[in-house]
Homo-oligomer: A and B are copies of this chain.
């Protein structure tokens, strides 16, 4: 036997037809148990594996999911948001459990990926993870919808368009802000883009606003400062706040990466965390625990998130009913807000 064994080789050795081999390998109830056993034994001995391409071509499904991580073109090329990295871990494991392979790709928003994965039959469905301007992103989603591509997106429920799994950003933002208020902070700045271009950040901002209002505090536009999810943006945002003379005794950053940069800027200006300014982040990336001081934050459960993403997509592929879901967040109090 030269080269890899095929189902014909096994058929020959087992004294059955190739069709029977194919059925036996997939444990078809149509095949006599002893035939199944014999075929599988021979397959094992020959170290035979079903050819993925042949079976996918014939059955028109690949048992593969594609994970597309799209990034803001402005993001540093080498740095991937740690939050997504931990999501990736959980998605990978969930795929394995469901018997799917996972193709991973990082994309720039500008690339022409949207047509590729399903059209070329590389994957049965796509998981979209990313950050960047949602308004720029919508046309891509619409194209996927038009093409009937099966996908699930990590993020907010989109109006009318595809399936999504996201966390309760508004509630998380409200919890974070209420925590700061409870610790007697009254002038709480919000750092992060607060517009429909960044719906997740915007939802966190809305939670922030609601908490302020319920506490009878006023919402001051001067206390909001734009930032995308990078340390640098967090640093710059604090400088901007300081430069324009805005006073604040607490700071709610729309992500941990922003918060970490913000703390550095505060400390560079001689402000103490939490004594002068309490700081709250969002995500609970691994670095949060190690920041100085350790960063209070709103944890997104990446393990559950990854599982839900995969499960939703697989169900969609199987034609089962699916709905977008929202998973709860959890406040993690650490030293950066004072008396954890």
Residues on A lying within 8 angstroms of B by beta carbon are 4, 47-54, 56-57, 62, 64, 77-80, 82, 85-86, 88-90, 92-93, 96, 101-106, 115-116, 119-122, 147, 260, 286-287, 290-292, 303
A78–B90 touching, CB < 8 Å: yes
Q: A89 contacts B78, CB within 8 Å?
A: yes
**Shortest beta-carbon distance, A75 to chain B, in Å?**
11
Q: Closest approach, in angstroms, between the C-beta of A207 and any C-beta of chain B?
A: 26
CB-defined A-B contacts under 8 Å, sample of 28: A47-B115, A49-B119, A51-B120, A51-B121, A52-B62, A53-B53, A53-B54, A53-B62, A54-B57, A64-B103, A80-B86, A80-B89, A82-B82, A82-B85, A85-B85, A85-B88, A88-B88, A92-B105, A96-B106, A101-B105, A102-B105, A104-B104, A260-B290, A287-B287, A287-B290, A290-B290, A290-B292, A292-B292
A51 touches which of B4, B57, B77, B80 (Cβ 8 Å): B57
Known: A104-B104, A105-B96, A105-B102. A120 touches B89 (CB 8 A): no
When distances are taken between beta carbons in the complex, the residues of chain B under 8 Å from A54 are 53, 57
In the complex, are the beta carbons of B101 and A122 less than 8 A apart? yes
B62–A120 contact, CB under 8 A?
A: no
Nearest Cβ on chain B to A189's Cβ, whole angstroms: 22
Which B residues lie within 8 Å of A47 (CB)? Answer: 115, 119, 147
A106 in contact with B121 given A54-B57, A287-B290, A291-B290 (CB within 8 Å): no
